[in-house]
Structure 1
Amino acid sequence: MSLETILVAVSGEADRTKSVAQTAVDVAGPAGATVRLLHVFSEEGYETVKDQLELDPDAEVTPGDVAARHATIREVGSLLDDAGVEYEAHGAVGETSEKVLELAEEADADMVVVGGRGRSAAGKTVFGSTAQKILSNAPCPVTYVRAP
Protein backbone atom coordinates (compact mmCIF):
# COMPACT_ATOMS: atom_id res chain seq x y z
CA MET A 1 0.00 0.00 0.00
CA SER A 2 1.37 3.38 -1.01
CA LEU A 3 1.04 6.12 1.57
CA GLU A 4 0.81 9.67 0.29
CA THR A 5 -1.38 11.37 2.90
CA ILE A 6 -1.57 10.52 6.57
CA LEU A 7 -4.10 12.30 8.77
CA VAL A 8 -2.97 12.66 12.36
CA ALA A 9 -5.52 13.72 14.97
CA VAL A 10 -3.77 15.60 17.77
CA SER A 11 -5.14 16.56 21.15
CA GLY A 12 -4.01 18.73 24.01
CA GLU A 13 -2.81 15.75 26.05
CA ALA A 14 1.00 15.83 25.93
CA ASP A 15 1.75 12.11 26.48
CA ARG A 16 -0.78 10.95 23.91
CA THR A 17 0.22 13.61 21.40
CA LYS A 18 3.92 12.70 21.60
CA SER A 19 3.13 9.03 21.01
CA VAL A 20 0.89 9.85 18.05
CA ALA A 21 3.49 12.24 16.62
CA GLN A 22 6.25 9.64 16.87
CA THR A 23 4.04 7.11 15.11
CA ALA A 24 3.43 9.64 12.33
CA VAL A 25 7.19 10.11 11.92
CA ASP A 26 7.77 6.35 11.90
CA VAL A 27 5.15 5.77 9.22
CA ALA A 28 5.35 8.93 7.09
CA GLY A 29 9.12 9.33 7.02
CA PRO A 30 10.02 6.13 5.15
CA ALA A 31 6.95 6.45 2.90
CA GLY A 32 7.64 10.09 1.99
CA ALA A 33 4.04 10.86 2.89
CA THR A 34 2.62 14.25 3.78
CA VAL A 35 1.07 14.46 7.23
CA ARG A 36 -2.06 16.48 7.82
CA LEU A 37 -2.23 17.44 11.48
CA LEU A 38 -5.75 18.08 12.74
CA HIS A 39 -6.69 19.68 16.02
CA VAL A 40 -10.43 19.69 16.70
CA PHE A 41 -11.67 22.28 19.18
CA SER A 42 -14.91 22.39 21.11
CA GLU A 43 -16.77 25.71 20.66
CA GLU A 44 -15.69 26.81 24.13
CA GLY A 45 -12.13 25.56 23.68
CA TYR A 46 -11.80 27.39 20.37
CA GLU A 47 -12.85 30.71 21.89
CA THR A 48 -10.52 30.18 24.86
CA VAL A 49 -7.53 29.47 22.63
CA LYS A 50 -8.34 32.45 20.40
CA ASP A 51 -8.37 34.66 23.51
CA GLN A 52 -5.09 33.17 24.78
CA LEU A 53 -3.41 33.80 21.44
CA GLU A 54 -4.48 37.47 21.65
CA LEU A 55 -5.52 37.55 18.02
CA ASP A 56 -6.79 40.77 16.52
CA PRO A 57 -10.54 40.72 17.24
CA ASP A 58 -11.22 42.42 13.88
CA ALA A 59 -9.15 39.99 11.85
CA GLU A 60 -10.75 37.10 10.01
CA VAL A 61 -9.47 34.03 11.81
CA THR A 62 -10.16 30.41 10.87
CA PRO A 63 -9.87 27.27 13.00
CA GLY A 64 -6.87 26.38 10.81
CA ASP A 65 -5.16 29.65 11.77
CA VAL A 66 -5.78 28.98 15.44
CA ALA A 67 -4.62 25.37 15.19
CA ALA A 68 -1.40 26.37 13.41
CA ARG A 69 -0.53 28.67 16.33
CA HIS A 70 -1.63 26.20 19.03
CA ALA A 71 1.21 24.79 21.14
CA THR A 72 0.28 21.18 20.42
CA ILE A 73 0.45 21.60 16.64
CA ARG A 74 3.70 23.56 16.92
CA GLU A 75 5.28 20.82 19.06
CA VAL A 76 4.23 18.04 16.71
CA GLY A 77 5.24 20.16 13.72
CA SER A 78 8.69 20.64 15.23
CA LEU A 79 9.08 16.88 15.63
CA LEU A 80 8.02 16.35 12.01
CA ASP A 81 10.38 19.10 10.82
CA ASP A 82 13.27 17.48 12.68
CA ALA A 83 12.46 14.17 10.96
CA GLY A 84 12.16 15.80 7.53
CA VAL A 85 8.46 14.96 7.21
CA GLU A 86 6.25 17.41 5.30
CA TYR A 87 3.08 18.45 7.06
CA GLU A 88 0.11 20.80 6.97
CA ALA A 89 -1.81 22.09 9.97
CA HIS A 90 -5.61 21.97 10.01
CA GLY A 91 -8.15 23.01 12.59
CA ALA A 92 -11.85 22.42 13.04
CA VAL A 93 -14.56 23.18 15.56
CA GLY A 94 -17.08 20.52 16.49
CA GLU A 95 -17.31 16.87 17.41
CA THR A 96 -13.88 15.28 17.06
CA SER A 97 -14.75 12.01 15.35
CA GLU A 98 -16.97 13.76 12.79
CA LYS A 99 -14.28 16.29 11.91
CA VAL A 100 -11.55 13.65 11.65
CA LEU A 101 -13.73 11.56 9.35
CA GLU A 102 -14.63 14.61 7.24
CA LEU A 103 -10.99 15.59 6.71
CA ALA A 104 -10.00 11.97 6.02
CA GLU A 105 -12.55 11.98 3.17
CA GLU A 106 -11.63 15.47 1.90
CA ALA A 107 -7.89 14.78 1.96
CA ASP A 108 -8.28 11.31 0.47
CA ALA A 109 -6.17 10.08 3.38
CA ASP A 110 -4.38 6.79 3.00
CA MET A 111 -4.18 6.35 6.78
CA VAL A 112 -5.49 7.99 9.93
CA VAL A 113 -3.49 7.98 13.16
CA VAL A 114 -5.39 8.52 16.42
CA GLY A 115 -4.53 8.19 20.07
CA GLY A 116 -6.54 6.96 22.99
CA ARG A 117 -6.51 6.23 26.65
CA GLY A 118 -7.03 2.49 26.34
CA ARG A 119 -10.21 2.29 28.40
CA SER A 120 -11.93 -1.01 28.98
CA ALA A 121 -14.73 -2.16 26.69
CA ALA A 122 -17.24 -1.36 29.45
CA GLY A 123 -15.78 2.13 29.79
CA LYS A 124 -16.17 2.73 26.06
CA THR A 125 -19.77 1.55 26.18
CA VAL A 126 -20.65 3.87 29.02
CA PHE A 127 -18.67 6.92 27.92
CA GLY A 128 -18.44 6.49 24.15
CA SER A 129 -15.16 6.58 22.30
CA THR A 130 -13.98 9.05 19.73
CA ALA A 131 -11.31 6.61 18.59
CA GLN A 132 -13.88 3.82 18.30
CA LYS A 133 -16.09 5.96 16.04
CA ILE A 134 -13.10 6.76 13.85
CA LEU A 135 -11.94 3.13 13.74
CA SER A 136 -15.42 1.99 12.72
CA ASN A 137 -16.14 4.64 10.09
CA ALA A 138 -12.87 5.78 8.51
CA PRO A 139 -12.54 5.51 4.74
CA CYS A 140 -9.00 4.13 5.13
CA PRO A 141 -6.90 2.11 7.58
CA VAL A 142 -6.56 3.57 11.07
CA THR A 143 -3.60 3.21 13.38
CA TYR A 144 -4.57 3.46 17.03
CA VAL A 145 -1.83 4.59 19.41
CA ARG A 146 -2.43 3.88 23.05
CA ALA A 147 -1.15 6.53 25.43
CA PRO A 148 1.81 5.44 27.56
Structure 2
Amino acid sequence: MAVVVGFVPTKEGAAALHRAAVEAAGRGTPLVVVDSVHDSDGEQTPDVRAALEELAGRDVSYEVRSVPAGQDVTDELLRIAEEESADLLVIGLRRRSPVGKLILGANAQRILLDAACPVLAVKPAE
Protein backbone atom coordinates (compact mmCIF):
# COMPACT_ATOMS: atom_id res chain seq x y z
CA MET A 1 0.00 0.00 0.00
CA ALA A 2 1.24 3.46 -0.87
CA VAL A 3 0.23 6.90 -2.03
CA VAL A 4 1.22 7.44 -5.66
CA VAL A 5 1.65 10.89 -7.19
CA GLY A 6 2.19 11.95 -10.78
CA PHE A 7 4.79 14.70 -10.74
CA VAL A 8 5.94 17.29 -13.25
CA PRO A 9 7.90 20.41 -12.24
CA THR A 10 5.01 22.88 -12.48
CA LYS A 11 2.93 24.65 -9.85
CA GLU A 12 0.27 21.96 -10.37
CA GLY A 13 2.87 19.24 -9.88
CA ALA A 14 4.18 20.93 -6.74
CA ALA A 15 0.64 21.11 -5.31
CA ALA A 16 0.11 17.42 -6.06
CA LEU A 17 3.46 16.46 -4.51
CA HIS A 18 2.77 18.48 -1.36
CA ARG A 19 -0.69 17.00 -0.89
CA ALA A 20 0.52 13.47 -1.62
CA ALA A 21 3.24 13.84 1.03
CA VAL A 22 0.64 15.01 3.56
CA GLU A 23 -1.62 12.08 2.68
CA ALA A 24 1.21 9.52 2.87
CA ALA A 25 2.40 10.83 6.24
CA GLY A 26 -1.14 10.85 7.61
CA ARG A 27 -1.77 7.30 6.42
CA GLY A 28 1.64 6.03 7.52
CA THR A 29 2.36 4.69 4.04
CA PRO A 30 5.25 5.31 1.66
CA LEU A 31 5.01 7.78 -1.17
CA VAL A 32 5.77 6.76 -4.76
CA VAL A 33 6.63 9.73 -6.95
CA VAL A 34 6.16 9.04 -10.66
CA ASP A 35 8.51 11.39 -12.53
CA SER A 36 7.91 11.88 -16.23
CA VAL A 37 10.48 14.63 -16.84
CA HIS A 38 14.13 13.74 -17.45
CA ASP A 39 17.10 15.27 -19.17
CA SER A 40 18.63 13.73 -22.30
CA ASP A 41 20.62 11.23 -20.18
CA GLY A 42 17.51 10.01 -18.36
CA GLU A 43 18.51 11.82 -15.15
CA GLN A 44 16.21 13.96 -13.03
CA THR A 45 16.13 17.61 -14.01
CA PRO A 46 17.22 20.27 -11.48
CA ASP A 47 13.57 21.28 -10.99
CA VAL A 48 12.62 17.71 -10.10
CA ARG A 49 15.60 17.32 -7.75
CA ALA A 50 14.69 20.58 -5.98
CA ALA A 51 11.09 19.46 -5.46
CA LEU A 52 12.22 16.10 -4.10
CA GLU A 53 14.67 17.76 -1.70
CA GLU A 54 11.66 19.38 -0.04
CA LEU A 55 10.40 15.89 0.81
CA ALA A 56 13.57 15.16 2.78
CA GLY A 57 12.38 17.38 5.64
CA ARG A 58 9.01 15.65 5.89
CA ASP A 59 8.10 12.61 7.92
CA VAL A 60 7.48 10.40 4.89
CA SER A 61 9.49 7.76 3.11
CA TYR A 62 9.43 7.95 -0.66
CA GLU A 63 10.81 6.47 -3.80
CA VAL A 64 10.97 7.91 -7.29
CA ARG A 65 10.01 5.96 -10.38
CA SER A 66 10.82 7.45 -13.75
CA VAL A 67 8.64 6.92 -16.79
CA PRO A 68 10.83 5.44 -19.53
CA ALA A 69 11.23 7.56 -22.65
CA GLY A 70 8.58 6.76 -25.21
CA GLN A 71 6.14 5.30 -22.67
CA ASP A 72 2.69 6.80 -22.18
CA VAL A 73 2.81 8.68 -18.87
CA THR A 74 -0.83 8.01 -18.02
CA ASP A 75 -0.48 4.28 -18.67
CA GLU A 76 2.64 4.14 -16.50
CA LEU A 77 1.00 6.11 -13.69
CA LEU A 78 -1.99 3.78 -13.68
CA ARG A 79 0.23 0.69 -13.90
CA ILE A 80 2.39 1.81 -10.97
CA ALA A 81 -0.66 2.65 -8.86
CA GLU A 82 -2.04 -0.83 -9.50
CA GLU A 83 1.33 -2.50 -8.94
CA GLU A 84 1.67 -0.71 -5.59
CA SER A 85 -1.94 -1.46 -4.58
CA ALA A 86 -2.18 2.28 -4.03
CA ASP A 87 -4.45 3.64 -1.33
CA LEU A 88 -4.62 6.90 -3.24
CA LEU A 89 -3.43 8.39 -6.53
CA VAL A 90 -2.78 12.15 -6.51
CA ILE A 91 -2.65 14.32 -9.62
CA GLY A 92 -2.44 18.06 -10.21
CA LEU A 93 -4.93 19.88 -12.39
CA ARG A 94 -4.39 23.19 -14.12
CA ARG A 95 -6.95 25.94 -14.14
CA ARG A 96 -8.99 26.23 -17.30
CA SER A 97 -11.05 28.90 -18.97
CA PRO A 98 -14.86 28.71 -18.61
CA VAL A 99 -15.07 26.94 -21.96
CA GLY A 100 -12.14 24.67 -21.08
CA LYS A 101 -13.93 23.60 -17.91
CA LEU A 102 -16.46 21.78 -20.05
CA ILE A 103 -13.72 19.45 -21.23
CA LEU A 104 -11.40 17.88 -18.68
CA GLY A 105 -7.90 17.16 -19.96
CA ALA A 106 -7.68 13.79 -21.69
CA ASN A 107 -4.98 12.41 -19.37
CA ALA A 108 -6.76 13.56 -16.21
CA GLN A 109 -10.00 12.07 -17.48
CA ARG A 110 -8.33 8.73 -18.22
CA ILE A 111 -6.80 8.65 -14.75
CA LEU A 112 -10.07 9.51 -13.03
CA LEU A 113 -12.00 6.90 -15.00
CA ASP A 114 -9.45 4.08 -15.18
CA ALA A 115 -7.67 4.15 -11.81
CA ALA A 116 -8.31 1.13 -9.60
CA CYS A 117 -8.01 3.30 -6.47
CA PRO A 118 -9.40 6.65 -5.31
CA VAL A 119 -7.95 9.67 -7.12
CA LEU A 120 -7.37 13.05 -5.52
CA ALA A 121 -7.09 15.90 -8.03
CA VAL A 122 -5.55 19.05 -6.57
CA LYS A 123 -4.93 22.50 -7.96
CA PRO A 124 -2.36 25.06 -6.88
CA ALA A 125 -3.26 27.98 -4.68
CA GLU A 126 -4.02 31.17 -6.58
TM interval, short-chain normalised: 0.7 to 0.9
Counterpart mapping for 1:34-53 below 5 A = 34-41=30-37, 46=38, 49-51=39-41
Partner of residue 58, structure 1: none
Distance 2:98 2:110 in 1: 13
Distance 2:104 2:16 in 1: 22
Partner of residue 2, structure 2: 5
Distance 1:27 1:128 in 2: 24
Distance 1:112 1:26 in 2: 13
Name the structure where helix makes up a greater proportion of residues. 1
Task: Give SS of 2:36's match.
Answer: strand
Partner of residue 75, structure 1: 50
**TM-score, with structure 1 as normaliser:** 0.71
Structure 1 residue ranges without an equivalent (≥5)? 52-62
Task: Give SS of 2:15's match.
Answer: helix
Q: Give the direction of change, closer, same or farther, for the CA distance of 1:128–1:110 in structure 2 (3 Å limit).
A: same
Q: CA deviation at 1:71?
A: 2.7
Distance 1:71 1:136 in 2: 32
Distance 2:98 2:107 in 1: 13
Partner of residue 147, structure 1: 124
Distance 2:35 2:101 in 1: 22
Distance 1:139 1:83 in 2: 27
Aligned residues: 123
Q: CA deviation at 1:18?
A: 2.0
Q: CA deviation at 1:30?
A: 2.0
CA deviations 1:102-124 (Å, max 9, x no partner) are: 11111211110000113258536
Q: Give the direction of change, closer, same or farther, for the CA distance of 1:129–1:72 in structure 2 (3 Å limit).
A: farther
**TM-score, with structure 2 as normaliser:** 0.82
Do residues 88 (structure 1) and 85 (structure 2) align? no
Displaced runs of 4 or more, over 3 A: 124-128
RMSD: 2.3
Q: CA deviation at 1:85?
A: 0.8
Distance 1:81 1:37 in 2: 13
State which structure, 1 or 2, has the greater radius of gyration over its C-alpha atoms.
1
Partner of residue 20, structure 1: 16
